[in-house]
């Protein structure tokens, strides 16, 4: 009855206040994503849900049309949670947040929702949500940050709605793909990129029969500016992603990024169009060369991902995969590909739904004809700093030449207590080499030498003093080819308050 009352209250607010809803769901809340994914897997939400920020406008119609009385207790809990977040997002025109965090060391590996990029941080933010525009000013005072900037304005933005499109300028965490532990092309491993972006708000299907078959769809595109303290200062990054959902069980996504421009590099619109239309140059810089030496203009990554949801003997499950190539052949076919594969399910334990996933990520990629030519994924012959921002990969946190298996569990009770844990096993920098072994700002930023690792990570959240307290720890055992084994232990704590 409690959940039903909460759902009814949230629906009332939805009908009366749709115009002032917060524009999107960001990539910082793992448990909100868990509830949204559960509703999507069950067909309650029909919109694609593997691109974050996820627009509220993409899923609110599905929430409004859902018959909460017909949902199972497990789905009712997720339904009430999502509606609660939606209600909270639009409850006030102004929203403010204070967050303080401490860690013995920055997190070495990150998954969806992780944000510990420094040993300490004080964050203050204020957000305004209007009928057609929204803005947020967020500032962070960081202690011993990676990348060197003590005062930052990550998570700040200015956004406006125009028809069914949202135009945004700012630095917002993003996650592109179905993985829980890794995204190969855009994740929250690095600090968010300052960018100008355009995203579709409502994900309704095309009305024309010629395109209606692709089902609900989303699209986002952005141009971002990278940092000045890199080999090619102030390089630009064009990124775009589209997703479709032709069946309730099936979601398909395509992603594409081009690193181009910057100091000393061609920066005109004409140069960008050459890169965007897959024109080629000689990899060695020569005016002409053999076709085997041809490469795309700029540093390009592109690929596809898929998620299929079903049930077996009454138990729901999903399988998903993502492949992102470092280059392309025949114009658009990705080449030199890395992979992420996974399977997940939600099981019930003493009335508590628990999501379990197993995920495999491999970035051991040989570029070109030589199968032993590693150290190329997230690297480039012109952009030596690679596909990284402030010394962190924009894709998976394992960087290149890694093979990692992750077992994850997460759950959230009706009282607001949340848990998640991960066990990671695998190899990092498997060939024991690096393009820049003596430069910590270039090449593999996780490890310069081969490492076999086993890690256990635990995280617990609970309501405290009208806010949310998070406690975390991880323990790792690493072995190396040329030095002694190493054991590490890290702990972190944070508290956030919204008003």
d(CA 76, CA 71): 6
Q: What is the pLDDT of residue 9?
A: 39
Question: Residue 445 corresponds to which tokens in the numbers above?
Answer: 């930023």
Q: Which domain holds residue 456?
A: 2-498
d(CA 349, CA 371): 46
Q: In the chain, which residues have pLDDT < 70?
A: 1-22, 90-92, 283-285, 292, 294, 328-332, 369
Q: What is the pLDDT of residue 18?
A: 36
d(CA 109, CA 118): 13
Question: Residue 301 corresponds to which tokens in the numbers above?
Answer: 């990554």
Q: Where are the beta strands (DSSP E) in 172-298?
A: 175-176, 194-200, 217-225, 236-247, 250-260, 280-282, 294-296
Helices (H), 174-268: 209-212
For 406-464, give the DSSP string.
EEEEEEE-TTS-EEEEEEEEEEESTTS--SSTT-TTSS-SS-SS-EEEEEEEEEEEEEE
Q: What is the pLDDT of residue 56?
A: 93
Q: What is the pLDDT of residue 327?
A: 74
Q: What is the pLDDT of residue 412?
A: 93
Q: What is the pLDDT of residue 285?
A: 67
In which element (H, E) is residue 86 found?
Answer: helix 73-89
Domain CATH for 228: 2.40.160.130
Question: Residue 408 corresponds to which tokens in the numbers above?
Answer: 């994850």
**What tens digit of pLDDT does each residue of 256-306 get?**
999 999 999 989 999 999 888 878 777 666 777 877 676 778 899 999 999
Could you give the C-alpha distances from 428 to 351, 370, 398, in angstroms and in order? 39, 21, 7
Contact 110, 146 (CB under 8 A): no
* Number of domains forming the structure of the chain: 1
- Return the bridge partners of 427, or none: 403, 452
Q: What is the pLDDT of residue 283?
A: 67
d(CA 95, CA 222): 26
d(CA 393, CA 54): 22
Contact 181, 455 (CB under 8 A): no
Contact 304, 184 (CB under 8 A): no
Question: Residue 136 corresponds to which tokens in the numbers above?
Answer: 């947020």
**What tens digit of pLDDT does each residue of 206-226 get?**
999 999 999 999 999 999 999
**Which burial class, exposed, middle or buried, applies to 389 when counting CB atoms under 10 A from its CB (0-12, 13-18, 19+)?**
buried
**What tens digit of pLDDT does each residue of 133-171 get?**
999 999 999 998 877 789 999 999 999 999 999 999 999
In which element (H, E) is residue 15 found?
Answer: helix 2-16
Q: Is 20 helix (H, G, I), strand (E, B) or coil?
A: helix
Q: What is the pLDDT of residue 11?
A: 38
- Return the bridge partners of 348, or none: 353
Residues in the chain: 499
| Rg over CA atoms, the chain | 22
- Which sign does the torsion angle of CA 209, 213, 217, 221 carry? negative
Q: What is the pLDDT of residue 373?
A: 80
**Which burial class, exposed, middle or buried, applies to 475 when counting CB atoms under 10 A from its CB (0-12, 13-18, 19+)?**
middle
Cis peptide before 53 (omega within 30 of 0): yes
Contact 361, 402 (CB under 8 A): yes
d(CA 295, CA 328): 8
Q: What is the pLDDT of residue 457?
A: 98
In b/e form, how buried is each residue of 265-278, taking b as 16+ CB within 10 angstroms? beeeeebbebbbee
Count of CA atoms in the C-beta half-sphere (13 A) of 424:
26
d(CA 496, CA 468): 5
CA nearest neighbour of 343 among 305, 317, 369: 317
CB atoms within 10 A of CB 456: 13
């Amino acid at each position: 009855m409690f959940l039903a009352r909460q759902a009814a209250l949230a629906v009332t607010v939805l009908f009366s206040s749709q115009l002032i809803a917060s524009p999107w769901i960001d990539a910082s809340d793992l448990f909100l994503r868990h509830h949204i994914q559960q509703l999507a897997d069950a067909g309650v939400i029909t919109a694609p849900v593997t691109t974050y920020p996820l627009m509220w406008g993409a899923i609110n119609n599905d929430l409004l049309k859902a018959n909460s009385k017909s949902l199972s207790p497990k789905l009712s809990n997720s339904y009430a949670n999502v509606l609660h977040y939606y209600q909270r997002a639009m409850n006030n025109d102004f929203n403010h947040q204070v967050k303080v965090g401490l860690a013995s060391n920055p997190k070495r590996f990150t998954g969806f929702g992780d944000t510990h990029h420094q040993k300490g941080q004080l964050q203050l933010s204020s957000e305004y949500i209007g009928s057609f525009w929204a803005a947020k000013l967020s500032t962070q005072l960081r202690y011993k940050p990676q990348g060197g900037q003590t005062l930052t304005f990550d998570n700040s933005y200015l956004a406006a709605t125009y028809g069914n499109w949202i135009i945004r300028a700012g630095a917002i965490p993003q996650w592109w793909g179905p993985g829980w532990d890794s995204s190969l092309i855009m994740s929250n491993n690095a600090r968010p990129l300052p960018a100008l972006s355009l995203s579709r708000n409502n994900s309704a299907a095309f009305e024309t029969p010629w395109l209606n078959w692709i089902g609900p769809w989303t699209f986002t595109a952005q141009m971002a500016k990278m940092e000045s303290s890199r080999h090619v200062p102030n390089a630009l990054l064009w990124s775009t992603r589209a997703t479709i959902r032709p069946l309730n069980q099936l979601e398909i996504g395509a992603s594409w990024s081009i690193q181009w421009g910057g100091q000393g590099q061609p920066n005109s619109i004409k140069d960008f169009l050459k890169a965007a239309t897959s024109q080629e140059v000689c990899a060695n810089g020569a005016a002409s060369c053999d076709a085997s030496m041809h490469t795309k203009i700029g540093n390009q990554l592109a690929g596809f991902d898929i998620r299929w949801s079903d049930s077996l003997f009454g138990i729901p499950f999903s399988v998903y995969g993502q492949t992102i190539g470092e280059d392309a052949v025949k114009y658009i076919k990705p080449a030199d590909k890395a992979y992420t594969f996974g399977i997940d399910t939600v099981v019930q334990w003493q009335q508590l739904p628990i999501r379990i996933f197993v995920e495999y990520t491999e970035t051991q990629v040989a570029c070109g004809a030589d199968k032993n030519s590693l150290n190329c994924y997230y690297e480039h012959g012109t952009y030596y700093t690679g596909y990284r921002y402030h010394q962190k990969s924009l894709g998976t946190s394992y960087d290149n030449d890694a093979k990692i298996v992750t077992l994850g569990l997460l759950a959230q009770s009706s009282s607001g207590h949340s848990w998640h844990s991960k066990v990671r096993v695998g190899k990092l920098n498997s060939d024991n080499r690096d393009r820049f072994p003596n430069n910590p700002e270039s090449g593999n930023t996780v490890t310069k030498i081969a490492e076999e690792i086993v890690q256990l990570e635990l995280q617990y959240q609970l309501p405290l003093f009208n806010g949310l307290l998070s406690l975390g720890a991880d323990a790792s055992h690493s072995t190396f080819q040329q030095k002694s084994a190493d054991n590490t232990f890290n702990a972190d704590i944070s508290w956030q308050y919204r008003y």
